Structure 1
Amino acid sequence: MTGLSATDPDQQVFDEHRNLLFSVAYRLLGSAADAEDAVQDAWFKWSAADRSQVADPKAYLTRIVSNLALERLRSTRRKRETYVGPWLPEPIVTDGGPAEAAVDAESVSMGMLVVLETLSPLERAVFVLKEVFDFSHAEIAEAVERSEAAVRQAAHRAREHVRARRPRFAADRSRQREVTERFFAATTGGDVNALMELLSPDVTLWTDGGGKVRQALRPVVGAATVAGWFAAIGTVTYQDVEPADMQAELVQINGGAGIVFRGPERVIATVTFDFDADGRITALHNVANPDKLQAVTDGTTYAIGTR
Structure 2
Amino acid sequence: MLDSREGAVDAVALTPDGKIWVAMNVRQADSKWRPRLVLLDAEGHETGVEMPTDAGTSVRGIASDAAGGCIAVGFGGSGYGDTDIKIWRMTAEGVAVVSAKGWDHVPNADSDPHEFDDLAFDVVNKDGVAWIAGMSVGKHNAFEYETRGILVPLDLETGARIDPVAVQEASGGWRQGMYLGAAAHPDGVVVVGQGATADGTSQRIELAIYDATGARIWWSPEAAADVAYGTGVAVSAHGGVIGVGVVMNGGTLGGVVLGRKGLTYEHQFSSGVEPSAVYGAAVDPWDQVFAVGELTSGGVRYARAAFVRQ
TM-score range, shorter chain: under 0.3
- Structure number with greater CO (CA < 8 Å, separation at least 6) is 1
TM-score by length of 1: 0.27
Rg larger in structure: 1
- Whose strand fraction is larger, Structure 1's or Structure 2's? 2
* Superposition TM-score, scaled by structure 2 size: 0.26
Structure with more helix by fraction:
1
